[in-house]
Amino acid sequence: MKKDFLTLASLTAGDLRRLLALAARCKRSPRACAAALSGKTLALVFQKPSVRTRVSFEVAIRRLGGSAIYLGPDDVYLGKREPTKDVARTLARYVDAIVARTFSHKDVEALAHFACVPVINGLSDLHHPCQALADFFTMSERCGRLRGITLAYIGDGNNVLHSLAEGATLLGVTLRVATPARYRPQTAIWKAAVKRARRTGARLMWSDDPREVAAGADVVYTDVWTSMGYEREQAIRRRAFRAFQVDEALLRVAKRRCLVMHCLPAHRGEEITDEVVEGPRSIVFDQAENRLHVQQALLLTLLGKDGGR
């Protein structure tokens, strides 16, 4: 059976911990796995722009001895030039795995359903599991543990938050979320996370008050108010999220040595101030770097001797 990586909820807590441990080994000894995926080819099917996801996957596969082919929005009009299922079956005849960045999560699911090679979600409207994987790796590196730490997410109930909620509830991280009431995380994803939290002992809460959520937090996390694909709502969102900016005043209620995270790209002056991004608590470029290490671990797991096809 080929394995896909579409959401964090598709993993067990054990799978997730093993991936994080492998990522730590990849980071410690970057050359140890050189040639482990020699001759393997990755197709990157991207319907939206990307710096981190694209470059970190291209470098990761090269470090492992393989190569990548980038197909941007002008190369593959998913479902427009030809049906997504035909793209999936065609690419699977040439490459060993597909990383897809799509508007609709249904497109990543369709690629996974029809391709006989592993499909990795490189961001959809609902999930960004590679990002959350790097984020938990970064938190564990910086805090020395994951279980019991308090992560405060302030902003939009979007794809990044959904993946953080799935991972936090698997790993026993306390997740406190502040969004405007209209921009809460999707009900089905949140309900499943609450259910999972009951099993794993993780704690989850939501509020529309950023100060209540940030109080005493170990980590304060934010992401853009307007995700890719929602640009038409930008003006309305700017007004709705005005009270949800991560600034120095908000950080004063968090732990004194709290860490600040953002998946990037950041919109300074909207969800976060320039002062906070550039300040001593910010670990945003560690997060960005760690995309590379966790994705090496992911590729080894999906395509290495014991995984993949």
Question: Does 284 help bind ligand NVA (rule: CB under 6 A)?
Answer: no
Closer to ligand NVA by Cβ: residue 123 or 300: 123
Amino acid (1-letter code) at residue 300: L
Listed in sequence order, the DSSP H helices in the chain are 13-28, 52-63, 84-91, 105-114, 129-143, 159-171, 187-200, 210-214, 234-240, 248-251, 274-278, 284-303
CB 236 within 8 A of CB 261: no
Q: Least distance to ligand CP from the beta carbon of 221, Å?
A: 12
Among ligand CP, ligand NVA, none, partner that 51 touches (CB below 5 to 8 angstroms by kind): ligand CP
Residues in the chain: 309
Q: Least distance to ligand NVA from the beta carbon of 230, Å?
A: 8
Among ligand CP, ligand NVA, none, partner that 223 touches (CB below 5 to 8 angstroms by kind): ligand NVA
Give the footprint of ligand CP on this chain (CB under 6 A). Answer: 50-53, 123, 131, 263-264
Closest by CA to 11, choosing from 169, 238, 212, is 169
User: Residue 66: which region, alpha, beta or left (left: phi > 0; alpha: psi -120 to 50)?
Assistant: beta
Q: Least distance to ligand CP from the beta carbon of 225, Å?
A: 15
Of 110-129, binders to ligand NVA (CB under 6 A) are 123, 128
**What are the CA-CA distances from residue 58 to residues 3, 14, 42, 287 (Å)?**
20, 27, 8, 17
Q: Which stretch binds ligand NVA (CB under 6 A): 79-87, 141-149, 152-160, 276-284?
A: 152-160
Interface residue with ligand NVA among 158, 179, 273, 296 (CB under 6 A) is: 158
Question: Does 227 help bind ligand NVA (rule: CB under 6 A)?
Answer: yes
Interface residue with ligand NVA among 11, 263, 288, 300 (CB under 6 A) is: 263
Neighbour tally for 209: CB within 10 Å: 11
Catalytic residues: 101, 128, 131, 223, 263, 291
| Pairwise CA distance, residues 62 & 141, whole Å | 25
Q: Least distance to ligand NVA from the beta carbon of 99, Å?
A: 14
Closest by CA to 147, choosing from 203, 199, 190, 216, is 203
Question: Does 7 help bind ligand NVA (rule: CB under 6 A)?
Answer: no
* Both tokens assigned to 70: 């980038």
Closer to ligand NVA by Cβ: residue 158 or 290: 158
What does residue 56 show for φ and ψ, rounded to 5 degrees? -65, -35
CB 101 within 8 A of CB 6: no
Question: Does 299 help bind ligand NVA (rule: CB under 6 A)?
Answer: no
Of 187-226, binders to ligand NVA (CB under 6 A) are 223-224
Of 159-178, binders to ligand NVA (CB under 6 A) are 159-160
Q: Least distance to ligand NVA from the beta carbon of 272, Å?
A: 13
**Residues near ligand NVA, by CB under 6 A:** 123, 128, 158-160, 223-224, 227-228, 263
